[in-house]
Amino acid sequence: MSKQIFTIPARRNQADKKLKVAAYCRVSTEHEEQRQSLKSQVVYYMQKICDNPDWDFAGIYAEKESGTRVDNRDEIQRLMNDCRNGKVDLILMKSLSRFGRNTLDVLLMLNELSRLNVVAYFETEDIWSNEPRVKKYITMAAAAYQEESRQKSEAIKWGIHQSSYHGHIKLNHSQFLGYGRDENGNLVIIEEEAKMVRLIYDLFLQGYGCRKIKKHLEDHGIKTVTGKEQWSISTIDRILSNEKYIGRNITPKTHTPDFLIGKQEENQGQIDTVIIENSRQAIISQEIFEAVQNLKGNLTNKEININGICF
């Protein structure tokens, strides 16, 4: 059996008698089994820390954030700040993958923890962050987790593209004025909401700008799809530009060049665009829709268009 060597960090103040120990717990989804998993992790580590007479409980940092980017995870940021402020000597966590799936992020955090004299212990892998040669192992393991994330990202993209190619469209009808689902799950027009959509198009063709349409809707007590009394100008503008109202679906409108960064950008031909006509029953005729688009593209001094939003 090979030797295992690790170093317990020295106390910052020799008057301190115990290590300040915290735990970091994370799950990546909101599914019930994942919520139970997070709860189980929290209970397990609280008991583990509190049962050790040589440890002081320094807190549990638990979050339900997915993705690879560390800057999107509030609890890991809070943990790192507390380490910088001397509140933590030892961090316990279930596995390296809970810490991060971006190799660079993991190494940067571990290097900073090393400088702060804070040690992390990964239970599944049974490794301490300050063991000799552990950085090489962590680099390899983190790279493997990163590749796994990349493959999952590509698989999700492929699935969405294949679904589009076969005409399968997902529509968040709860946030989309004019449509809903029947008892069989089929997308259907909600006539009361469809009247509101047609009214917005009619008002625009009568010469109303987005601000004037907003005032008209609010003055007549017409609420948004989510039940709000106040309308957003950008919401009205999107309704007037949404090709889904003529039964057309264009996808994807955005793409993510770097899965690690996760920032979406407008699809300007970087990936295939799928256009599906007659994907649903239309609320607006194509003639009216095109008339509105032509008018929006030739606004006079009475209407100012900034970044695609009319005022």
| Alpha-helical segments (H) within the chain | 32-50, 74-84, 96-99, 103-115, 134-165, 191-205, 210-219, 233-241, 286-296
- The answer to pTM > 0.85 is no
- Cα four-point dihedral sign 144, 146, 147, 152: positive
Instruction: Indicate whether 103 pLDDT > 80.
Output: no
Q: What would the pLDDT profile of 170-197 be if each residue is shown by its tens digit?
A: 554 456 788 887 777 777 888 888 899 9
**How confident is the model over 117-133, as pLDDT tens digits?**
999 999 988 888 887 66
Residues in the chain: 311
Between strands 274-276 and 305-306, the pairing is: unpaired
Judge contact between 103 and 143, C-beta under 8 A. yes
Cα–Cα distance, 63 to 176 (Å, whole number) = 30
DSSP 138-193: HHHHHHHHHHHHHHHHHHHHHHHHHHHHTT-----GGGSTTEEE-TTS-EEE-HHH
Residue located via tokens 């090393």: 114
- Average of per-residue pLDDT across 199-210: 92
**Torsion angles phi and psi, residue 181, rounded to 5:** -120, 140
